[in-house]
Structure 1
Amino acid sequence: MIETIGIEVQKTEQSRIKEIDFHNIDFGKVYSDHMFVADFEDGEWKNFQILPYADLSLSPANTVLHYSQSVFEGLKAYKNDKGDALIFRPFDNFRRLNKSAARMCIPELPEEIYAEGLTELIKLDKAWVPDVPGTSLYIRPFIFGADNYIGIRPSTTYKFIIFTCPVGAYYSQPVRVKIETKFSRAFEGGTGAAKTGGNYAASLYPAKLAQEQGYHQLIWTDGKSHEYIEESGTMNVMFVINNTLITPPTGDTILHGITRESVLTLARDWGYQVEERKISVREVIDAAQNGTLQEAFGAGTAATIAQIATIGHDGQDYDLPPVEGRELSNKVLKALDEIKTGKREDKFNWIYTV
């Protein structure tokens, strides 16, 4: 039992870990033994439990199935040489979770519930944190409305769950992206800055069309004019033009990425020129045409750094310089990997050790 919130722990009778080949893990298909669960009822969070990972039982009238009142996060744990689990910036994810929750009319989650639930879950399932290069333990906290009611209003009950899964690389190769100028991901005043399921559901159809054309992902543009770059499908997007790192500013329509912030922090610390500003599609395409676009990459929890090999726009593909010669993004990826696995000094206090 945990003294602060009192977590009831029910261990699985039979671990599945021996069934897992940690050298060959598909992203998001294998789940660890346990999950942390809490309920919001009668105006407070209660019923703190760690249970064996299992399916949920929901009423067909559950509000989240109809109106998508939900928020989620994604973060990762890595293993160091001593066998500790090193979680990367978990309290930044906690703050963003509550920011998303406020936008979706979900009650605030107290930090002690998040912290103790996460800590005890990782302690229990620490063996699931892989130590194979290129792998990690993906951690998924989420909250959803739990009322069995199909009237349109905020739910009065909620469920908070954290589960984990060992993962390999999200993208196995540099990605081909298409600049989207018809469909929109988000608008000012909307939910683009919240990490909520409906945002991703709305992106699936345009992404499917792009994949049918040979692209891995989209680069979204602003919903009004489609003249300015916003973010990519699973990550924030960054460009190196004339030795300057440029990325759109976060706001109503762009998610505040934690990996994004980490990249910018490292680049500034190393003395690179960094600009957070609006960047037009025209500027990117002109730079690709005249050879001043040196690097383009996505930054996100799942992929960390996803190198962009090709940018498609208006029926034309623009190939970027070879990945091997990209100075900044490769340097950032190496630094982040070494910080996350305890091989480099954590000078920014990003690591939470379990």
Structure 2
Amino acid sequence: MRKIALLLIMVLIVGGLFAAGNQETTSATSTEVAWPTQNVTITVPFVAGGAADIIARKIATMSEPLLGKPVVVVNRVGAGGIIALTEYMKEKPNTHNILLLGRAQSVTIPNVQTNKLAYSRDDLIPIIGIENINFVLFANAKTGIHDMESLKQYASTKKSLKYGTTGAGTDIAVLQGGLYGLAGVKAEAVTYGGAREAVLNAANGVVDVAVAAPTSVIDLLADGSVVPVGVFSNEPYTGFEGITVPSFASQGYDINAPGLNYLAIRSGTDQQIVDKLYGVFSTVFASEEYQEFAKNLLVDINGWDSKKMTQYLDEQDQVIKKLVQYLEIK
């Protein structure tokens, strides 16, 4: 009870501070909206047991006492998130169904998908950024690849570089395809069901390289079966103990494309609901319990508000548009 009371106090403080900084958006409605009035659902377009699913379930559990209603996580997988988003378009404003998204669903897939999608970014309001995702390229240790120069040398001795990837249109597919195109490296994609499976096949030598988030590779780095080559960011990655992963920007490839997961709700939702959810989730992220959870899972907590999230997505839209041009070496 004491923990719940403290969390409720934090919600009031964070919510008050947020509202004070957003008077332009909240002054139009002075009466608090009665929300939630029923159970809240977080739809996750990824498989159960994955990093995003684990994070969503932690957020749900910690949000329940703050919202005063049960918060349930539902996994709706398929087509890289397109199925979940297509179904979500049936939701009306002020829905009790929140959607967990990544950059892939918001920016990458729309830039790669040739047929018309049933949704657009305008159909959703970002609530809060959950985590930054540092996409790292790993190589099988026996290849001798440890940076882009050695990768190019290795590829020149082969017919093509074999790389493990996920489905077409995903972040991992576009980042790798774009990088190899920029580097002039002929590369052959081998598609797997997820990043963990792809990097495991790199560790086993089935493919030469693969991209994954740090959480998927801790054990493989420890046993020395894979070596980091670079991170898709302007800054090096220092989350691994004793290892600094250089950025591809520092190696001559201007790809500043850190990933990000976030929570969103249907456009047209009352601003007070968005503000309330932002306050609740911010309180969860600021708690010692969640901070410890994030540290153990190598989660880089984000916490951006709707405005900053929108700015990030606009910037990444331009980055992905550039990479798509290099997906195939001509």
TM-score normalised according to structure 2 size: 0.27
Task: Name whichever structure is richer in helix by fraction.
Answer: 2
- Structure of greater relative contact order (alpha carbons < 8 Å, 6+ residues apart): 2
TM-score normalised according to structure 1 size: 0.26
